[in-house]
Chain A
Amino acid sequence: MAKTNTDRSSSTKAPTPEYVAARKALRGSSHVSSEEAKRQVSQIGPKQSGTVSYSVERRGGVSMLKRSVKP
């Protein structure tokens, strides 16, 4: 049986209003240059080495993501 948004006992929770407000407040709270954005992204990455491929299998309404990486 499908879960609904009101079925809080067995479903996940929505982000709290405080979290939503905090995330919204991030927008426009600072101004970074393209160079700074690139620097920060380069520190976090590289995301993956090699070639990544995905496939999705659907069985009886269930989707499963398969991820494979070839060096």
Chain B
Amino acid sequence: LGRGNEHDVYFDQASQRVIKVTQSTTGYGAQGDALAYLTSLSRCNRLFADTIRFEGLVRVAPLFDALAISQPFVQGTAASAADIEEYFADLGFVPDGQHAFAWSDPAGRAYLVADARPDNVIREGSTGLICPIDLQILVRDVAAPI
């Protein structure tokens, strides 16, 4: 399907899932290390009801394996700024205030959800369901649940 900021992206027609392979040969995704990358994806599943799966490793350099993940393909169009604002407000998030396209939990400030740009949030075509597909979730409170 193309090349994003973090991944090379493919579509598996049989499973209707998008396959993403991390691009870098020195790290994993925006946050750098593998554990942070996978933890962020796990939080996307828990906080936003996605079903991202770890698929395996891809040897991309003599001493480096990229991570391959998959997630369901969501048909639709980019959500509007109003859609995104309403979606996060309904879940109790507030605008971060310091970063564009970023949302925080209001009091505990356990999470910082970044990259909530319209091209990372899909308005599903047949139902209008708002579906985040490519967010970064950073933890501010080390005791926050994975």
The answer on a CB contact under 8 Å between B77 and A44 is: yes
Q: Determine the distance from Cα of A31 to Cα of B13 in the docked complex, in whole angstroms.
A: 8
Can you list, as one digit per residue, whether each of A35-62 has a CB less than 8 Å from chain B (1) or not (0)? 0011011111101100010101000011
In the complex, whether B145 has a CB less than 8 A from a CB of chain A is yes
Q: How far is the CB of B103 from chain A (nearest CB, A)?
A: 9
**Interface range, A side:** 35 or more
**Contact, CB under 8 Å: A61 / B74:** no
B88 shortest CB reach to chain A, Å:
9
Please give, as numbers and ranges, the residues of chain A lying within 8 Å of B91 by CB-CB distance. Answer: 12-13, 15
Contact partners of B82 in chain A: CB under 8 A: none
* A22 in contact with B119 (CB, 8 Å): no
Chain B residues, Cβ within 8 Å of A52: 5
For the complex, what is the distance from the CA of A29 to the CA of B129, rounded to whole Å? 13
Q: CB within 8 Å of B: which of A1-34?
A: 2-3, 5, 7, 9-15, 19-20, 22-24, 26-34
Q: Does any Cβ of A come within 8 Å of B8's Cβ? A: no
Chain A residues near B127 (CB-CB < 8 A) = 22, 26
Whether the Cβ atoms of B140 and A62 lie closer than 8 Å is yes
Contact of A2 among B16, B136, B144 (CB under 8 A): B144
- Where the two chains meet, the residues of A that have a C-beta atom closer than 8 Å to any C-beta of B are 2-3, 5, 7, 9-15, 19-20, 22-24, 26-34, 37-38, 40-45, 47-48, 52, 54, 56, 61-65, 67
> What are 14 A-B pairs with beta-carbon distances under 8 A?
A2-B141, A3-B144, A10-B107, A23-B49, A27-B72, A31-B16, A32-B73, A37-B13, A40-B76, A52-B5, A56-B32, A65-B102, A65-B138, A67-B30
